[in-house]
Amino acid sequence: MADRILEGKTVLMTGAGRGMGRSMSIALAVAGAKVAMIDIDKDVLAEAAKEAEDAGGQGSTKPFVCDVTDAERAKATAEDVMSSFGSIDVLVNDAVVGPERIPDFFVTPAKFWELEDDLWNAMLRVNIFGPQLMAKTCAPYMMDRGWGRIVNVTTSLDTMYLSGAGAYGPTKAALEAHTAIMASDLDGTGVTANILIPGGPVNTRMIPEASEIPREKLIQPDVMQAPVTWLASDDSDGINNMRFIAALWDDDLPRDKRIEQAGAPVAWTQIPSKAFYPED
C-alpha cells in the first residue's frame, strides 16, 4: 500500500459521492486517513464509500448523509464523526450545486434575468453558506487540538465570471474571498485555510455531453489527489491563505518548487487595493 502519511488523521469530505470529492476521498483513505464522506445522495454515497474503503482498508471510511446547509444536521454529523473516529483534523469543502442544473447552459447560456430564483438561491446556500457552516462547525474541534486544515474548492478566475452559469461563478468568487478571511482569523491557531482548484474543466457531470468536448480532453478528477493529500499532511505546516492549481502540482519536484509552481496567494492579491481610508 502507498505511503500512509495521513495515519491518525480524520478528514471530513463534503460532496464525497461523485467526481472530485469521490476521487479525493479514495486518495486520502489510501494515504491512511479516516475519511468521513458526506453527501445528500445516500445510494451514490454508499457506493463511493465502499470504493474508498476498498482502496484504503477496512474501517477507513464511513458515509454520512448530511445537507451542508442544515445547521442541526451539520452539528450532529460532526458529533457522529467525533464518536466514530475520535477527531476532525481536515475539512474539505467540495459540495456544490453546479451549472449543470441549468438547462442547456453550455449550448445556449441563459442571461442573468432568465435564471430561476430557486436555483440561484440553492447555489448561494450550498456553494458559499455550506462551506461557512461546515467550517464553523469543524474549526473548534481542530483548534482544540492545535492543528487542522480547511481546504476549500473554488474555481478558475474566468469561470467565476462565466456568463450563463448562474450563481456558480459568483459563489466560488465569494468562497475565494471568504477563505482569506478564514485564514486570517485562524492565524496562530495551528489551523490553516487554503484553496485547491483543478485548473480547468473537469470530467464530471458539471460538463455535460452537449458540450461535445471529448471526455479524455478534460482534466480528470484524480488530478486533485496528490495536492489534497499533501495539504492534509504535516508537510504542509505553515501553509496558509494559499490557492493551489492541481493541474500544476508535481510531486516529483522538491517541496518549495511544488509550492512555487502550483501555488499563489488567495483572492487576487495581485490587484492593488484602491480603497480610501481616512487618516487618524
Q: What average pLDDT does range 227-255 have in this prediction? A: 97
Q: What average pLDDT does range 62-71 have in this prediction? A: 98
Give the chain's largest Cα–Cα span: 62
For residue 27, the SS3 value is helix
Low-confidence winner among 24-28, 74-78, 272-276 (lowest mean pLDDT): 272-276
pLDDT tens by residue, 191-207: 999 999 998 776 666 66
Which candidate, 177, 163, 100, 76, places its Cα nearest to that of 131? 177
Query: Which helix (H) or strand (E) covers residue 40, if one does?
Result: none
Low-confidence winner among 70-74, 215-219, 266-270 (lowest mean pLDDT): 215-219
pTM of the model: 0.93
Residue 56, pLDDT > 80, answer: yes
Q: What is the pLDDT of residue 208?
A: 64
| Residue type, position 267, single letter | A
Work out the pLDDT band at 271, boundaries 50, 70, 90. low
For residue 62, the SS3 value is strand
3-state secondary structure 149-173: EEEECCCCHHHHCCCCCCCHHHHHH
